[in-house]
C-alpha cells in the first residue's frame, strides 16, 4: 500500500453568500450583506486544485451539500419559504465548502488497528454548520468505503468539535508513525471557543491513538479574541515542520518541549509578533495556508493573494525563503470569494493520508475531471447572490438544480436523493 497525502477540497456550492453567520470570524461578519459571486467562487476553488495538481499533489473533492437544507428546517417546525430570515440564511449556507471542518483524520500508521480513521465534526457551536454532519458522513462513507478506513459519527453534543481545523500531525514522512496534536479552546474573550477538549479526547480514543504520542494543546485566548476561530488560522503543520504564530498557543514553551521530546527532528518555525501582528496574520490568512511536501521533498506554502498584499507578512515570507528556512517555496492562489467569507486555502481542504487506489475514484480528480466540473459550474452556478435574493424561489430552484447537475456529471447519484 502506497500511502500519500491527498487534499480533498470542498467544491464551493451554488448557494455561496455573505450572510455573516459566524461570530468570531471577522471576515465573515465584516462582509455581511455584500453581494456574493458563487460562480467565480467555485471557479477560484477549481483553479486552486489545478495549481495543486501542477505541484505534483494528489487531489480529491468533497461535494456541495443540498441547500437549502429542507430537512433541517422541517425539524424546526417550518418550511424554507415560511421560515424567519435568519433560519433561511442558516439553511442556505454553503459553509460545507470548508472541508477542513468536515472531519478529523488519523492515518493508519498512528492507529491501533492500522486503519485510517475519520471522525465527522459535529460543528455544534454555529447553527448554520450544525446540520452539515449527516451529509458529510454520507459522502465520507462513499469515498472511504474500503476496509482500510473507519468513518465515525460525530462526537455527541454539547462537546463542540470542529474537525481538522483544530488538529495537526507531524511525522518524518506521511506514511510513517507521527505525533497527533489536538488544539482546543477554553475562552476567547468576546468570541466562542469552538473546540472542546472533551471532543478532542473522544476523537483520539475512537481513533485508537497512542496516548504517549498524542498532545492536547490549548489555543491562546488572545488568538481567539483576535479572530483565530480555528487553530488553522494561527498554525499549520506538515512533515517535520510546525509553522505557527508566536501567540498561537496558551503555553507554547511546554508544547514545544513536548514536541521536541517526542520528535527530536521537528523544525519549529515561529513568526514573531513583533514582525507580524496577530491582526496581520489573521487578515492575510498567513497560517491558513497549505503547507505541503513537494515531490522533491521540500516544503511549499500555498498562501492566498491577501498574504502577498499584506506588507509585514510578505516581507517575513521573503526573508524566510531567502534565509534557507524549511519552507522553500511560496505559491500564491486567488480564493478571494472564500476569503471574504472567512476561509483561506487551508479551510477549503481536508488532508487524508491513504493509498489513492483504496478511495472511490469519483472523489479523486485530474485536469480532465476538473474541466468537467468547471463546465457545470459555468453553466449552472448563479453569477451573483444579493442579500435580498436568499428567499427568491427562482434562485432556490436554480441552486438545487445546479447541485443535481454536478452530482449527475460526476456519477455520485447516491447523494441526489438528499434533494427534496
Which positions are catalytic? 162, 230, 347
3-state secondary structure the chain: CCCEEEEEEECCCCCCCCCCCCCCCHHHHHCCCCCECHHHHHHHHHHHHHHHHHCCCEEEEECCCCCCCHHHHHHCCCCCCCCCHHHHHHHHCCHHHCHHHCEEEECHHHECCCCEEEEECCCCCCHHHHCCHHHHHHHHHHHCCCCCEEEECCCCCCCCCCHHHHEEEECCCCCCCCEEEEEECCCECCECCCCCHHHHHHHHHHCCECHHHEEEEEECHHHHHCCCCCHHHCEEEECCEEEEECCCECCHHHHHHHHHHHCCCCEEEEECCCCCCHHHHHHHCCCCCEEEECCCCCEEEEEEHHHHHCHHHHHHHHHHHHCCCCEEEEEEECCHHHHCCCCCCCCCEEEEEECHHHCCHHHEECHHHHHHHHHHHHHHCCCCECHHHCCCHHHHHHHHHHHHHHHHHHCCHHHHHHCC
Query: What is d(CA 196, CA 215) in angstroms, rounded to the nearest whole number?
Result: 14
HSE (CB half, 13 Å, CA atoms) of 303?
A: 25
- Other CB atoms within 10 A of residue 188 CB: 22
Query: What is d(CA 350, CA 382) in angstroms, rounded to the nearest whole number?
Result: 26
Query: What is d(CA 177, CA 182) in angstroms, rounded to the nearest whole number?
Result: 16
Amino acid at each position: 500500500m502506497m500511502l500519500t497525502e491527498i487534499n480533498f477540497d470542498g467544491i464551493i456550492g451554488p448557494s455561496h453568500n455573505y450572510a455573516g453567520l459566524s461570530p468570531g470570524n471577522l471576515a465573515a461578519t465584516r462582509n455581511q450583506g455584500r453581494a456574493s459571486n458563487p460562480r467565480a467562487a467555485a471557479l477560484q476553488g477549481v483553479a486552486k486544485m489545478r495549481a495543486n495538481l501542477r505541484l505534483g499533489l494528489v487531489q480529491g473533492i468533497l461535494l456541495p451539500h443540498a441547500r437549502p437544507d429542507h430537512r433541517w428546517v422541517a425539524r424546526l417546525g417550518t418550511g424554507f419559504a415560511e421560515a424567519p430570515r435568519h433560519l433561511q440564511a442558516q439553511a442556505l449556507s454553503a459553509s460545507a465548502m470548508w472541508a477542513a471542518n468536515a472531519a478529523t483524520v488519523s492515518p493508519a500508521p498512528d492507529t491501533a488497528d492500522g486503519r485510517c480513521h475519520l471522525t465527522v465534526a459535529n460543528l455544534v457551536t454555529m447553527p448554520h454548520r450544525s446540520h452539515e454532519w449527516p451529509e458529510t458522513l454520507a459522502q465520507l462513507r462513499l469515498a472511504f468505503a474500503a476496509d482500510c478506513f473507519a468513518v465515525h459519527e460525530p462526537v455527541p453534543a454539547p462537546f463542540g468539535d470542529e474537525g481538522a481545523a483544530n488538529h495537526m500531525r507531524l511525522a518524518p514522512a506521511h506514511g510513517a508513525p507521527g505525533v497527533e496534536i489536538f488544539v482546543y479552546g477554553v475562552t476567547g474573550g468576546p468570541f466562542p471557543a469552538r473546540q472542546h477538549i472533551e471532543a478532542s479526547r473522544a476523537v483520539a480514543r475512537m481513533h485508537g491513538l497512542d496516548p504517549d504520542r498524542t498532545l492536547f494543546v490549548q489555543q491562546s485566548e488572545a488568538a481567539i479574541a483576535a479572530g483565530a476561530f480555528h487553530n488553522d488560522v494561527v498554525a499549520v503543520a506538515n512533515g517535520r515542520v510546525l509553522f505557527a504564530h508566536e501567540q498561537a498557543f496558551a503555553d507554547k514553551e511546554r508544547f514545544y518541549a513536548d514536541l521536541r521530546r517526542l520528535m527530536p527532528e521537528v523544525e519549529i518555525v515561529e513568526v514573531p509578533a513583533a514582525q507580524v501582528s496577530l491582526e496581520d496574520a489573521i487578515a492575510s490568512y498567513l497560517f491558513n495556508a497549505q503547507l505541503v511536501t513537494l515531490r522533491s521533498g521540500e516544503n511549499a506554502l500555498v498562501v492566498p493573494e491577501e498574504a502577498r498584499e499584506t506588507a509585514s507578512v510578505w516581507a517575513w515570507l521573503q526573508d524566510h525563503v531567502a534565509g534557507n528556512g524549511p519552507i522553500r517555496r511560496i505559491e500564491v492562489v486567488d480564493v478571494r470569494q472564500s476569503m471574504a467569507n472567512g476561509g483561506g486555502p487551508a479551510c477549503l481542504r481536508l488532508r487524508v493520508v491513504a493509498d489513492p487506489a483504496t478511495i472511490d475514484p469519483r472523489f479523486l480528480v485530474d485536469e480532465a475531471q476538473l474541466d468537467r466540473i468547471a463546465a457545470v459550474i459555468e453553466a449552472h452556478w448563479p453569477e451573483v447572490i444579493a442579500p435580498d435574493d436568499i428567499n427568491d424561489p427562482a434562485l432556490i430552484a436554480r441552486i438545487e438544480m445546479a447541485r443535481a447537475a454536478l452530482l449527475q456529471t460526476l456519477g455520485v447519484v447516491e447523494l441526489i436523493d438528499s434533494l427534496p
